[in-house]
Amino acid sequence: MAKIRLVVAALLAVLLAACSGSAVSGGGDAAGGDAASEPADGAGDAASAPSEGAASEAAGGEPIDVGLLIPTSGVYALLGEDIRNGFELYLEQNGGALGGRPVETVEVDEGEAAETGVRGAQRLVEEDQVDTVVGIVSSAVALGVRDLFDERQIPLILTNAGADDLTGAAASDYIFRTSFSNRQPNYAMGRWLAEEGVEDLFIIAPDYAAGREQAAGAREAYEAGGGTVVGEAFPPFTTTQDYQPFLQQIRDSGAQAVHAFFSGGEAIAFVQQYQQFGLAEEIPLYGSGFLTDTTVLPQQGAAAEGIRTALHYAPALENPTNQAFVEAYTAAYDEPPTQYAVAAWDAAQLLDLALADFEGEIADDPEGFVTALEGVGEIDSPRGPFTLSDTHNPEQPFYLLEVAPGDDGQLTNIVVEELGSVEDPN
Ligand code: PHB
């Protein structure tokens, strides 16, 4: 009997969400009304529900309003789509609920710049009055909204933006991250390059908060291991279409290797131009894994072959949670998942587990909800299980990846070796 009541409540939640405005969707529904991102029929069947007991029973009680702040325009638009997909997949697998409560999602475009992202966050917090916000790709946006969330005591779960300070010097009780700090993958890569005795490194990244931090992480580890950085370049962020002047600078520097951070549309352009300029045969290209992740690899094609990067996730990782996740995600969206989708799926899981352990409304007891989030412990992620540090950043291992043909002959990121974890300096 109780079970029937819960199922009716879940159906009601989906109906309610369907009636409530174009940008709002119930958790079990397709995301944001965008047909391209709609999970295929039966998407939720492919993998078992990830968290036992919490939401899978079916939803009841007042809905939780979740603001999804992701780029749906600009150089990082592809990343936003993956975040939406990962979040929606988790909801789909859990009957549209988190912690047994129905979910309503409001999606707002983060855009490309800090200003657009801050405006989007203000809208979610002030007009839509959401209980929590999930998302944000750009560090510039995340840094711009830090005080808003901190002062208003609204939990923000970052699913990408790696701004080091947000889980370091400027950490907030209300900001959690399920992705990485910018320093982490780059430090892992720089450390490996030095250990391998790769000499004379050139470092390149876009000129904004994340580019500067990712470059700094690589330099720190590489120099600590005895390497010499022979040059560095920071092309203007979002406006550089032609990387030739920078590629010429690399060639002229006498570098023996290059470490790069680019992502989304910029990663596609940089990797293609690196090959077209003839550098791919002259100087091996390394980087943080965003450079060749599954979002951009299909468009980079052969230009990416052989590039080695460091990241905390690849679809090829062998663990049961990942195998089920890859199967469900691929069935739903017809493409393999990325670390962006994983971070969003894990953010949903974090909320699910915290809400299962929390009574009442988040807005009435934000401190209590932070305690519930902090109490979650281990998250059973497709990247492997991880916990959050005292400043709410994932403590996780990184992997050396290489773009090479997979079993099906398609280019993919194969896992070469584990690189260990990287501690955040606090
Ligand atoms: C960031 O701005 O923090 C950022 C953006 C894209 C990435 C990684 C980090 O792929």
In a domain? residue 426? no
Whether residues 145 and 7 fall in one domain = yes
Whether residues 202 and 176 fall in one domain = no
What's 369-420 look like in SS3?
Answer: HHHHHHCCCCECCCCCCEEECCCCCEECEEEEEEEEECCCCCEEEEEEEEEE
Beta carbon of 162 within 6 Å of any ligand 1 atom: yes
Q: How confident is the model at residue 60 (pLDDT cuts 50, 70, 90)?
A: confident
Beta carbon of 179 within 6 Å of any ligand 1 atom: no
pTM: 0.89
Quote the Cα angle for 29-31-25, to 5°: 55
Chain centroid to Cα 55, Å, comes to 23
Beta carbon of 66 within 6 Å of any ligand 1 atom: no
Chain centroid to Cα 84, Å, comes to 10
- Count of domains in the chain? 2
Phi-psi region of 307 (alpha: psi -120 to 50; beta: other; left: phi over 0): beta
- Residue having the nearest C-alpha atom to atom 7 of ligand 1: 263
316: closest CA among 389, 404, 388, 221?
Answer: 404
What pLDDT sits at residue 426? 62
CATH number at residue 75: 3.40.50.2300
pLDDT at 210 over 60: yes
Average pLDDT of the residues of the chain: 89
182, 234, 340: residue to mutate for ligand 1 pocket, most atoms within 8 A of CB: 182
Residue ranges of alpha helices (H) inside 173-263 are 183-195, 209-224, 244-253
pLDDT at 30 over 70: no
Q: Where are the beta strands (DSSP E) in 19-162?
A: 24-26, 64-70, 97-98, 101-109, 132-135, 156-158
Whether residues 267 and 200 fall in one domain = yes
pLDDT at 41 over 70: no
Beta carbon of 137 within 6 Å of any ligand 1 atom: yes
Please list the residues that pair with 25 across neighbouring strands.
105
Whether residues 68 and 132 fall in one domain = yes
Whether residues 187 and 176 fall in one domain = no
Centre of ligand 1 to C-alpha 179, Å, is 10
Express each pLDDT in 110-131 by its tens digit: 999 999 999 999 999 999 999 9
Express each pLDDT in 330-348 by its tens digit: 999 999 999 999 999 999 9
Beta carbon of 167 within 6 Å of any ligand 1 atom: no
pLDDT at 55 over 70: no
pLDDT at 269 over 50: yes
Check: CB of residue 168 under 8 Å from CB of residue 425. yes
Whether residues 377 and 415 fall in one domain = no
Whether residues 35 and 69 fall in one domain = yes
What pLDDT sits at residue 17? 36
Instruction: Give the separation between CA 29 and CA 59, rounded to whole angstroms.
Output: 14
C-alpha dist (Å) from residue 304 to 16, 149, 215, 287, 401: 46, 39, 20, 12, 12
In a domain? residue 376? yes
Whether residues 18 and 87 fall in one domain = yes
C-alpha dist (Å) from residue 410 to 273, 384, 392: 21, 24, 36
Whether residues 72 and 171 fall in one domain = yes
Q: How confident is the model at residue 424 (pLDDT cuts 50, 70, 90)?
A: confident
Span 176-187, average pLDDT: 98
Whether residues 126 and 272 fall in one domain = no
Span 326-331, average pLDDT: 98
In a domain? residue 88? yes
Q: How confident is the model at residue 61 (pLDDT cuts 50, 70, 90)?
A: confident
What pLDDT sits at residue 126? 97
In a domain? residue 384? yes
Express each pLDDT in 301-311 by its tens digit: 999 999 999 99
Tell me which DSSP letter residue 243 carries: -
For the sheet with 285-288, list strands across it: 229-233, 201-204, 257-260, 285-288, 308-311, 397-405, 411-421
Whether residues 40 and 169 fall in one domain = yes
What pLDDT sits at residue 402? 98
Sequence-separated (6 or more) residues with CB below 8 Å from residue 282 = 251
Centre of ligand 1 to C-alpha 43, Å, is 28
Span 288-293, average pLDDT: 98
Beta carbon of 158 within 6 Å of any ligand 1 atom: no
% of the chain surpassing 70 pLDDT: 86
What pLDDT sits at residue 118? 96
Instruction: Give the separation between CA 130 and CA 309, rounded to whole angstroms.
Output: 37
Which residue range(s) make up the domain with 368? Answer: 2-180+318-395
Express each pLDDT in 357-386 by its tens digit: 999 999 999 999 999 999 999 999 999 999
Quote the Cα angle for 236-238-240, to 5°: 55
Span 321-328, average pLDDT: 98
Whether residues 160 and 304 fall in one domain = no
In a domain? residue 255? yes
